[in-house]
Chains A and B, each alone.
Chain A
């Protein structure tokens, strides 16, 4: 079976630091996503990509960069970590079929803490 792997699982950064989160999927899915989840809140879309080398902004793209290096991987960069920031970053992927993206599958998340 397929799997979505996010690395690292836990990330501790310093204020102002540039941090990179990685996501790999072996489902051969077309679309990949990065979401941010703050404690007790819903998910907010940061970036998504519908194919290799494609990049589309979500609602929360400011302060982040992303890169879809190949179909199976999608990385997210926090360009300058904010002090006391704490959030979980969730990667997801979905297949495009019938003119729609099907239900996304999610990774286990990367938990970010900024000192």
Chain B
């Protein structure tokens, strides 16, 4: 079936550094969504992209519009509050209501 693969599975950053999280799909996807889950388990939607890039503060996400099998989430000037688990998700081929989630990237930002 459709698969969503995230890398790395875990990432440690020092405050002020930049990094990127990656999301690969085994098949072409119409859109991608990025979420952050905090330590309490709450899932917050960060981005919804059908193509191109979106930016919000220190976060920027891109979705490869040509192949539609790859997305990235860039974190600039990482802060302690960025710590959490980041998930990407995409609708499966059968219908846009079904979102398939990756296994997540656990990000730890330290001072």
Contact = CB atoms under 8 A, between A and B. Distances in A.
Contacts of A34: none
A88 interface: yes
Contact of B87 (A43, A58, A103): A43
Interface string B39-55: 01111110010000000
Contacts of A92: 43
Contacts, number: 61
B64 interface: no
Given A42-B102, A50-B97, A100 B41 contact: no
A47 to B, nearest CB: 11
B45 A43 contact: no
Nearest to A105: B45
B42 A103 contact: no
Given A90-B43, A102-B48, A105-B45, A42 B104 contact: yes
B41 A109 contact: yes
A78 to B, nearest CB: 18
A42 B41 CA distance: 12
Given A90-B43, A103-B45, A103-B48, A48 B101 contact: no
Given A42-B104, A44-B101, A90-B43, 15 more contacts: A40-B104, A41-B103, A42-B87, A42-B102, A43-B43, A43-B101, A99-B96, A100-B31, A100-B96, A101-B97, A103-B45, A105-B45, A106-B43, A108-B41, A109-B42
